[in-house]
Amino acid sequence: MNIEIMTLFPDMVMNGINTSITGRAIKNGLISVNATNIRDFSLSKHGQVDDYPYGGGAGMVMMPEPIDRCYHDIIKRLGYDKDGYKNGKRIRCIYMSPQGRTFNQGIAKELSEEEDIIILCGHYEGVDQRILDMIVTDEISIGDYVLTGGELAAMVITDAVSRLVPGVLNNDDSAVYESFHSGLLEYPQYTRPAEYKGVKVPDVILSGDHKKVLEWRHEESLKNTRLKRPDLLESREGEDNAWEGSIKY
């Protein structure tokens, strides 16, 4: 999978993404992540990328041309035509914005199945609407708050999507069993020592009975979800059996 990020701050994005699990996945060739500086596609002598808004108002607006040229450079390199199509399919170009649909695990899964995606990070007070209408296929928010730019949001999407690409996580199961995959939150985890400051790991975990451990974990997941995110239970009617079916005894 190939993730292309259009940004004014490529170092910010790549410094984050080159770290830890995503960094290892890039080194191992399981994903590729490229951050391209929109400023490099400015036609002005001083690398101008923003200008005052027509009609007045506060702040600056990102100009359409540098973004347009940056986008076309990327899609050409990836083998798409000038309208963003390859083999009859249009490349997904995601604009990070608080106005978009709220990101969740389902969207992460959907995006992880794409061959290529482009993420556009906005800055200043916004982006000229014409270029958004021309190239953007998806508008995604990472939550109901306003960031200074789309970079952190693009890093969130890149991280959540990358870890769903097969092979990126060491243990395939860890992507399956954890929070949200089954619509439930995670169960509590323990490691050595078996007793810490007088607090013991629950007996069942140490029992060696794998079936019992799985059952206990499922119960704890349900309990945790009921307590912390009851809204998740309401939206997953009938899915409990699906989870049972995925247990490997």
Residue with Cβ nearer ligand ADE (153 or 169): 153
Site track 27-66 with ligand ADE (rule: CB under 6 A), x = hit: ----------------------------------------
Q: Judged by CB under 6 A, which of 36, 37, 97, 158 binds ligand ADE?
A: 97
Residue (of 33, 7, 23, 9) closest to 116 by Cα position: 33
Please answer whether residues 17 and 154 qualify as being in contact, where contact means their C-beta atoms are separated by less than 8 angstroms: no
User: How wide is the angle at C-alpha 186 spanned by C-alphas 248 and 117, nearest 5°?
Assistant: 90
Q: How far apart are CB 209 and ligand ADE at their closest, in Å?
A: 45
Residue selected from 33, 67, 120, 142 as contacting ligand ADE according to rule CB under 6 A: 142
From residue 132, give the alpha-carbon distance in Å to each of 86, 94, 142, 219, 228. Answer: 20, 10, 18, 46, 38
In the bound complex, what is the minimum distance in angstroms from residue 70's beta carbon to ligand ADE? 18
Contacting residue, 30, 134, 147, 233, with ligand ADE by CB under 6 A: 147
Q: In this structure, what token pair is assigned to residue 104? A: 């969740």
Q: Candidates 60, 98, 180, 220: give the one binding ligand ADE (CB under 6 A).
A: 98
Q: Give the x/- contact pattern for ligand ADE in 178-217, rule: CB under 6 A.
A: ----------------------------------------
Task: Pick one of 10, 84, 150, 183: the residue that binds ligand ADE (CB under 6 A).
Answer: 150
Tell me the closest approach of the beta carbon of residue 126 to ligand ADE, in angstroms: 10
Among 46, 58, 82, 146, binds ligand ADE (CB under 6 A): 146
Does 143 sit near ligand ADE (CB under 6 A)?
yes
**Is residue 96 a contact point for ligand ADE (CB under 6 A)?**
yes
Among 120, 153, 168, 184, binds ligand ADE (CB under 6 A): 153
Cβ-based nearer residue to ligand ADE, 123 or 217:
123
Contacts with ligand ADE, residue ranges (CB under 6 A): 96-98, 141-143, 145-147, 150, 153
